[in-house]
Amino acid sequence: MKLKDFWKFSAKDIVYILIIGATVFFGYRAFMDLQAQVEKSNIAYKQLSDTLARAQSEMVTKAELNQIATTIGVDLGKIKGDLSKLDARLRAVGETVASIEGGINSDQGSDDSIDHDPGQQPEECKLCDIHGYTASIQVKDVKIGSMPHASVEFDASREKPWTIRYDDVDVKVKTIVGEQEKENGHLVFYHTISLVNKSRPELINKEFKLKVVSSEFKENISTEKRFYWWAPHLDLNFDNNFSLSEKDLYRPGTSLGFSVCAYGRTKSDNDWRFIRIAVGINTNKNPYLLVEPARYNLGRYLPIMNDLWIGLGGFYDGGFGVSISIGTTL
C-alpha cells in the first residue's frame, strides 16, 4: 500500500470517524463522572461478629492523612522512611479499638487458697475468724474478659495482707487488607484483637478474643509521579511502518518489545515509558528491529482499556523507516 492511498478518506469514512470519536468522548465523560462518585463514597463500619469487624474507610487528602496520624498519636517519620526503603507509599492510617466490659462482682469467694501456718495468735483473735481465713492465704483471679491476667492474695495473718500478681500478657491485633478491583479503589480492612497470657503454662497457647467495637481508616490515593530508571515491561504492538527508502512506503507489522524506564505514579502505573527496543515481522514476512525513545499511555483517557500505548520510533528491515506503534503491556 502506498502512502498516498493510505491517507485517502471518503466523506462516509469521516462521518464514521466522527461518530466513533463522539461515542468514545461522551462515554469517557460518563465513566469519569461515575468514577468520581465512587471515589467519594465511604465504606461503612460493619460488625461481622463480636470478635471480627470490617473497618470504616474513607478517602482523604495527603494533608488530612498526616493530621489524622498526629491526632491519634502515630509518628509517621520512621514509617515513611521504612516505606521508602520498600519502594512503597503511605496509603492509609487508622485506629482500631477493642473493649473489655467492666463490672462489679461483690461477695466473691476465693478461687484458691494456700495452706500456711499463721503463727501464734492471741486467743481473742481466734473468735474474730469466723470463716477460718487466717488458716490459709485467700487467692482471687482478676480477668480481662474471660482471660485471667492477675491474682490477688489476702493473708489475714499479715499487717499488710494484700499481694497482687500481674501476668505478662500479649495483645495481638490481626489485620487483613483487601483492595477494591478498580482504579483508586478503597482498601478494605478486617481486624481481630486477642490476648495471650504468657505467665501461666496452661494458657500460653490459648488466645482470648476481645470484642471489637470500632475501627476506622483514612486513605490517601497518591497522585504524585516520579521517574523510575529501572521499570522493565514487555509489550505487544501493531506497528505502522513507513519506509524512507523504498516505493512500498507502508509496511505494517507486529512486534514484541521491551522498555526500560518509566514515569508515573508507580513502577506499573505509568504515563510514559522510555527506551523501548523491539523485534517484529511485517506483512511482507520480513523481520525488523524497532527502537523508540519514548511512548505514551493513551489508555488513561479511555473508558474501557487503560493500558494502550502509542510510540514513535525508527525501524530497520534492510532499509530505514519511521514507525508509529500502538500496543499493550504483557
The string of pLDDT tens digits covering residues 197-215 is 888 888 888 888 888 888 8
Q: What is the pLDDT of residue 35?
A: 55
User: What's the angle, vertex CA 21, arms to CA 20 and CA 25, rounded to 5?
Assistant: 120
Q: What is the pLDDT of residue 130?
A: 65
Amino acid, res. 135: A
Cβ contact 312:323 at 8 Å = yes
| Maximum average pLDDT range among 110-124, 146-160, 287-301 | 287-301
| pLDDT tens digits, 236-257 | 899 988 888 766 688 888 899 9
Ranges of H-type helices in the chain: 3-6, 11-40, 62-71, 76-85, 123-126
| pLDDT tens digits, 216-235 | 877 776 667 888 898 888 89
Strand order in the sheet with 56-59: 56-59, 211-219, 92-99
Categorize the per-residue pLDDT at 2 as very low, low, confident or very high, splitting at 50, 70 and 90.
very low
Residue 90 has pLDDT above 90, yes or no: no
Cβ contact 54:189 at 8 Å = yes
Distance CA 276, CA 151 (A): 70
Distance CA 169, CA 195 (A): 7
Distance CA 87, CA 89 (A): 7
Give Cβ neighbours of residue 228 (< 8 Å, ≥ 6 apart): 261, 262, 263, 264, 267
**Coil, strand or helix: which one is 212?**
strand
Distance CA 204, CA 230 (A): 48
| Maximum average pLDDT range among 24-33, 186-195, 308-317 | 308-317
- Based on its alpha-carbon atoms, the radius of gyration of the chain, rounded to whole angstroms, reads 35
Residue 1 has pLDDT above 50, yes or no: no
Categorize the per-residue pLDDT at 276 as very low, low, confident or very high, splitting at 50, 70 and 90.
very high
Residue 39 has pLDDT above 60, yes or no: no
Q: What is the pLDDT of residue 6?
A: 43
**Coil, strand or helix: which one is 275?**
strand
Element (H, E) at 54: strand 52-54
**Coil, strand or helix: which one is 282?**
strand
- Which of the two residues, 148 and 127, has the higher pLDDT score? 148
Categorize the per-residue pLDDT at 295 as very low, low, confident or very high, splitting at 50, 70 and 90.
very high
Element (H, E) at 172: strand 169-179
Q: What pairs with residue 2 in β-bridges?
A: none
Question: Shortest CA distance to 282 belongs to which of 229, 246, 328, 330?
Answer: 246
Residue 182 cell numbers, joined: 478498580
| Maximum average pLDDT range among 71-80, 87-96, 174-183, 319-328 | 319-328
